[in-house]
């Protein structure tokens, strides 16, 4: 068997085996967020706010989703930040240090975190681009100035990070919807290859374009 063929072989994990034996759903009743679905169309809404009276779709009340049939694995904060923002632990460390102890210069951050200063500067630039930190200039007593970084307003940061994550989640939702349409298209069409081959080839082509 070639490496390419072996890569296509399905792998069984303890998690997937257990899921087959004991299919379970996840209760959403006690979550910090709420999910609502429309009973007349496919609209689904996620909210972090306690919506008094619920949500509506085309002026009709939406149904709150109390259970998820899929056994969703709880996300790890590092993985969420990496996937959604491209921000690994080192970048988060830089951000948290500035929020807690700023304003700080890149050299001061590097000393506190014991990171290479070049790495610190890279993450600082990204965090400023994300809108999570601000950069300003501090005059030196000996003359000249130094760049220092400080946090934006925490309420503003909360809103910006949630908007950024929802945008990422929207992109993920669009991919899922496209995947469902691909399966529907395959079912209604005539293909020589199996759905598994058509499915992955289509999305590989999408990523390359």
Helix (H) or strand (E) holding 109: helix 106-113
Contact 26, 71 (CB under 8 A): yes
Rounded Cα distance between 153 and 132, Å, is 9
Contact 64, 50 (CB under 8 A): no
Rounded Cα distance between 197 and 203, Å, is 10
pLDDT of 205 reads: 64
CATH of domain 77-155: 1.10.10.10
Beta bridge partners of 63: 37
- This model's pTM is above 0.85: no
Closest by CA to 69, choosing from 101, 112, 95, 37, is: 37
Rounded Cα distance between 33 and 66, Å, is 11
Helix-, strand-, coil-residue percentages of the chain, each rounded to 5: 50, 15, 35
How many residues does this entry show for the chain?
A: 209
Closest by CA to 149, choosing from 199, 100, 197, 80, is: 100
DSSP 49-107: S--TT--EETTEEPEEP-EESS-PPPPPHHHHHHHHH---HHHHHHHHHHHHH-SB-HH
pLDDT of 19 reads: 42
pLDDT of 209 reads: 58
CATH 1.10.10.10: which residues of the chain? 77-155
Please list the pLDDT of the chain residue by residue as tens digits (209 residues): 444 444 445 444 445 444 444 456 778 888 888 889 998 888 888 888 767 778 889 888 899 888 888 777 778 888 888 888 888 889 999 999 999 998 999 999 999 999 999 999 999 999 998 888 999 988 777 767 888 999 988 888 888 888 888 898 888 888 887 777 666 776 767 776 776 776 677 767 666 65
DSSP designation for 142: T
């Amino acid at each position: 068997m070639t490496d390419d063929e072996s890569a296509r072989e399905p792998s069984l994990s303890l998690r997937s085996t257990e899921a087959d034996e004991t299919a379970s759903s996840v209760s959403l009743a006690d979550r910090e967020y709420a999910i609502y679905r429309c009973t007349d169309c496919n609209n689904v809404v996620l909210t972090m706010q306690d919506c008094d009276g619920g949500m509506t779709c085309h002026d009709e009340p939406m149904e709150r989703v109390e259970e998820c049939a899929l056994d969703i694995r709880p996300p790890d904060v590092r993985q969420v930040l990496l996937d959604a923002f491209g921000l690994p632990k080192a970048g988060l460390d830089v951000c948290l240090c500035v929020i807690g102890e700023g304003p700080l210069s890149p050299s001061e951050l590097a000393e506190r975190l014991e990171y290479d200063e070049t790495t610190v500067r890279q993450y600082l630039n990204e965090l400023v681009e994300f809108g999570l930190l601000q950069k300003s200039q501090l005059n030196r007593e000996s003359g000249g100035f130094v760049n220092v970084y400080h946090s934006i307003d925490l309420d503003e940061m909360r809103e910006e990070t949630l908007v950024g994550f929802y945008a990422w989640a929207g992109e993920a939702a669009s991919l899922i919807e496209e995947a469902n349409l691909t399966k529907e298209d395959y079912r209604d069409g005539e293909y020589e290859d199996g759905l598994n081959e058509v499915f992955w080839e289509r999305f590989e082509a999408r990523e390359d374009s």
